[in-house]
Structure 1
């Protein structure tokens, strides 16, 4: 960046709230499908997931509801091509391959799904076997994301995972047999974890041949058992050492650190998540699914009924959406930056206007302040967070909050 000519951003007063959003074209579109059930709720998890009860999962009824939800949402996405599909949860690998095939067949018949669309399925060790991975691949899944978290039995037990280290290794091997694109989720700064143990987890992941790693610092989220009764965690210095070790080792082995927690082999970044971070659009269907859709009238965010029972009951009425709100001009700059500044390469200056419908002048004063603070570098084409900005991302983003 330093070899490029620095763009002379000029500080201008922010535009008034009644500034019109002028999108010349909507951004790329993705589809997110939420599957809300899991075998057991983990004590650190704050996602919309619910443990399977004695009655089991109402798979057929839920897939019927998902298809009806998609049909009801079609007027919002008429004529728009879907580039990626992500089936998340919960534990979507609890779906039968036959059920998943029916769902994806409906997506293909109802929407303009790109022929080379990336279709990701989240899976957990302990809920998959070789035959199911084969079935998922035949249904059209092109990418699997495995919730490994750790290869250490002691840490897996503390995290409340239903699999052990041996099952994790078997699941990775099975995924690699059937899919070219495999992501492994790893967590670090776990209760009682040492630097050497974090390194051992990373080396095992690297040895698997996975094309993508998502490395997350364990956080104690509100409304979780871990938040109510916090376990003893590594201190800040040790946690920082783990993060530095992970970033350095993955760089050594040819992984690109393209987002705060995401690392990929060249050309293997998650296209679905990249669309989120570039402030693209996504239709969200399923219990508690969120969506963001743009049109000439502005940008709208939606959330489906959150509890599975409420979602299924709503499906009987043809009522899927619990909340819908328009994103205001005041909120748009922060919402854009909250996504785009997670990317190591930042974003093109032109993308701010293309994906928000606002002129760059809206954020010029704040970008200038962020550059003065050493959080970002700016040239004629891009805004890129510095290493300091990436490490203190929350502080950087605060500068774009509405006054």
Structure 2
């Protein structure tokens, strides 16, 4: 038996104006009228059904993701946040994030979202190049991006800008210009990650002029230097933050913390008092979810999967991985993975000390190869 730490809450809003060609998140193209009221009612009921799993564990972070959560009206978000707080204890200084789209109509809602208790905004810019925005099938242009950032700056200092590099037909100069644009607006956080084409996406079956590996590496290395030089500290593979502005919700994921997930297609990870870890998977069918059928399945995570999932998250961070933390959060003795640790060391991916492991520069660059060592 061991003491359980605070927990996070993820809330999934499954609608988008348009399904982007690279997106593999669970979402629907929004109907003319989104059934907001009914969905919020069912989100709160879904939340109530999960409460028995997290007894006496306060919620430290809330993340409203999607889809495009900023499609929801002010009153819907307010009702959602207030409904969560009425039903369970949320820390007074909890980080509450909402993902937003730069589309002009949604910008007008930012101030109302803040008044509902949201204190962190994540804006999915992806690129400031209007031509590239069309190529990756986004629904806004450069002017709307800039307007959205300016509107957010009036509301909050805790702002993340999502940017991607390695886009179709993107040049090295384009990628660095994106970063310079972003840095110029002085957001507290920048998420900068490489476009990856997943098998279950529209882009997977298309011929795209993706930059070659050499150019992508140059984008990464020069962009990384630019961000660090501009006062952003890299604390995770694709995350850069000003002092005290790291995303606490995502840090909980990457530190293999627990979270509950509510909403259509959401999933959660919850450690039980006996040390067992369970995963919850919510119904992906929106009609079924709106009819009250929330839970799709609950699975106990095997020891092999726990090891892989722990390292899949913690290897992303730019800090040592304490062995006592591994034991505490997995309930597994590191002796059980001694051979795999040694293989990672032999490959130059890991440094091993008495108290911790740390990924090398090579380990970070070849992260997938490092993780394969821990895959069953």
Mark yes or no: TM-score above 0.5. Answer: yes
Give unmatched runs, 5+ long, in structure 2: none
- Work out whether residues 27 and 294 of structure 1, in 8 Å CA contact, stay in contact via their aligned partners in 2: no
CA distance in 2, matches of 1:118, 1:381: 31
Aligned to 2:225: 248
CA distance in 2, matches of 1:289, 1:68: 14
CA distance in 1, matches of 2:107, 2:169: 33
Aligned to 2:311: 337
CA distance in 1, matches of 2:307, 2:348: 19
Cα deviation, 1:347-392, whole Å, max 9, x if unaligned, reads 2221101111112222233222212221122333332211110000
CA distance in 2, matches of 1:400, 1:69: 34
Cα deviation, 1:177-235, whole Å, max 9, x if unaligned, reads 11121000101111111101111100000001101111111111112111011311111
Aligned to 2:366: 392
Show structure 1 runs of 4+ deviating over 4 A: 127-130
Tell me how far 1:130 sits from its aligned partner.
4.9
2:351 equivalent to 1:377: yes
CA distance in 1, matches of 2:99, 2:235: 20
- Work out whether residues 27 and 354 of structure 1, in 8 Å CA contact, stay in contact via their aligned partners in 2: no
SS at match of 1:57: coil
Aligned to 2:57: 80
Deviates more, 1:249-258 or 1:275-284: 249-258
Aligned to 1:179: 156
2:179 to 187, 202, 219: 202
Tell me how far 1:47 sits from its aligned partner.
0.6
2:240 to 240, 245, 263: 263
Tell me how far 1:307 sits from its aligned partner.
2.4
Q: How many residues align?
A: 375
CA distance in 1, matches of 2:61, 2:336: 30
2:78 equivalent to 1:104: no
Tell me how far 1:27 sits from its aligned partner.
3.6
Q: TM-score by structure 1 length?
A: 0.91
2:281 equivalent to 1:307: no
2:15 to 29, 34, 37: 37
Instruction: Tell which has more relative contact order, 1 or 2 (C-alpha 8 A, sep 6+).
Output: 1
Aligned to 1:224: 201
Matches within 5 A, 1:4-403: 23-54=1-32, 56-126=33-103, 128-297=105-274, 298-313=276-291, 315=292, 319-402=293-376
CA distance in 2, matches of 1:132, 1:399: 46
Deviates more, 1:187-196 or 1:346-355: 346-355
CA distance in 2, matches of 1:116, 1:285: 21
- Work out whether residues 71 and 106 of structure 2, in 8 Å CA contact, stay in contact via their aligned partners in 1: no
Q: TM-score by structure 2 length?
A: 0.97
C-alpha root-mean-square deviation of aligned residues, in Å? Answer: 1.3
Tell me how far 1:129 sits from its aligned partner.
4.7
CA distance in 2, matches of 1:130, 1:39: 15
Give unmatched runs, 5+ long, in structure 1: 1-22
